[in-house]
Amino acid sequence: MDNDIVPGLLATINKEFDQRTIENAKLKSALQLLKRKRATYRDVNDYAVEVGQILADVLGTNVTAELLPDGHMYFNIADRVLNETLKKNYDLITGYAIDVQTQLNREAGLRLKAQVPELNRDRIVGIVNRLVSEPEFDKIKWLLNEPIVTFSQSIVDDVLQRNVEFQAKSGLRPKITRRVVGKACKWCSNLAGSYDYFDKPEEIYQRHERCRCTVEYHPGSGRRQDVWSKKWIDPQRDAKIETRKQLNIKKNTLALNA
């Protein structure tokens, strides 16, 4: 193609996307939760959904059949536009997720570095290939809507999975919880629940389009998180401390009576 529309298109998309993410109230609130050390994986998921919806809106507004040559999405355009914009989503979402994971590790008393998953380029290739498969862009334009949000949520799932596996290999027994959001389908409802890492369903991280289910976890091995204080508690350790206290009281009483 003699007239390369991609540079100008990307400039417009990036400018609008950056402005909207900076001004977005939900994203500002998520950052405040992180600053107050109260952010959880639910907040990470909400953050990803919001970032995904912003990008979907911006793409929907600027990528039109009228702009495309012959009203068709060519591979050269789709590949360059989606690889750059979805990489930006990946950077934003993993940045927030890793900050939350680091915070959770510290609160749990774990001296483990938060693990960063690689960008899943196969998912991007899948969207690109589907976009270019239809001669008329308007018939396939929906792929720049909900699938973009689903892609963004999958980034959170990848971060969680990477860290759960790392902690399991480090000797911990992470508990994974999948929660339904809204009116869930039968498939999602059947996956809902809390599982030991070694007994989790194979599909625990999978999601379909328009799925808003959340996946969360906390370290196992007798450690649990108090939902109110968000502090990590080790019941076995606390029980041992209490036992020692009682033994010391008993010893002191015997000494006084001797």
Please state, in angstroms and rounded to a whole number, the distance separating the CA atoms of residues 171 and 192: 25
State the chain's mean pLDDT as an integer. Answer: 86
User: Where does the pLDDT of residue 258 fall: very low under 50, low under 70, confident under 90, or very high at 90 and above?
Assistant: low
Q: What are the pLDDT digits (tens) for 51-77?
A: 999 999 999 999 999 999 999 999 999
Higher pLDDT, 145 or 109: 145
pLDDT of residue 175: 86
pLDDT of residue 243: 53
- pLDDT score of 228 more than 50: no
Q: What are the pLDDT digits (tens) for 116-130?
A: 999 999 999 999 999
User: Where does the pLDDT of residue 226 fall: very low under 50, low under 70, confident under 90, or very high at 90 and above?
Assistant: very low
pLDDT of residue 229: 41
